[in-house]
Amino acid sequence: MLDRARAGDLDAFEQLYHEHVGRVFALCLRLAGDRQRAEELTQDVFVQVWQRLASFRGESAFASWVHRIAVNVVLTEVRSRRRREARVLTVAAPDALERAREGSGSGPEDGMDLEREIAALPPGARTALVLHDIEGYRHDEIAQLTGVAAGTIRAQLHRARQLLRKRLER
């Protein structure tokens, strides 16, 4: 499938899209905190994946490669929209994520609250938390991706967790 897509076959690329869109969209949604924006970002990600397919050499798993592109696309966009990111709470994103919670381990209320509070975090803290505690990146990797010092990432992560715990305890 990958070889066909690399050779320019859009139908093959569509199948790759369906395999990976859920993971990409979840990442975009949590980092952007806005469903509509997350959809636009997801489109940007897959257009970039298509454009760069020829440079994928198979040294990492395709899913990891796509994920890395997604992180870069979202962080670049988030940086350029910093002022817009300053808003405190979005409504659409937690709703979309709540639907995804149904059928997963915890109850929907629990997931809804948590997603809503993640979406309400300040952008820097949210980025650190999503990439570290949900996506599993290390401090130094996040520092490299965001261009922020690793010490600052740790501080933002600490702040994010504190804010989350405080808000969830209310």
The binding site for another protein (CB under 8 A) comprises 3-4, 6-11, 13-14, 17-18, 21-23, 25-26, 29, 35, 38-39, 42-43, 46-47, 50-52, 54-55, 57, 96-97, 99-101, 104-106, 110-111, 114-115, 129, 133-134, 139, 154, 157-158, 161-162, 164-165, 168
The smaller minimum CB distance to another protein, of residues 85 and 117, is found at 117
The smaller minimum CB distance to another protein, of residues 86 and 110, is found at 110
| Shortest Å distance, C-beta 26 to another protein | 4
Distance (Å, whole) CA 145 – CA 97: 25
The smaller minimum CB distance to another protein, of residues 86 and 117, is found at 117
| Shortest Å distance, C-beta 85 to another protein | 20
Distance (Å, whole) CA 26 – CA 15: 18
Q: Are 164 and 117 in contact (CB under 8 A)?
A: yes
What lies within 8 Å, CB to CB, of 104 at 6+ separation is 111
Distance (Å, whole) CA 142 – CA 91: 27
Q: Rg of the chain over CA atoms, in angstroms?
A: 17
| Shortest Å distance, C-beta 119 to another protein | 12
Distance (Å, whole) CA 1 – CA 23: 19
Distance (Å, whole) CA 132 – CA 154: 10
The smaller minimum CB distance to another protein, of residues 85 and 113, is found at 113
| Shortest Å distance, C-beta 99 to another protein | 8
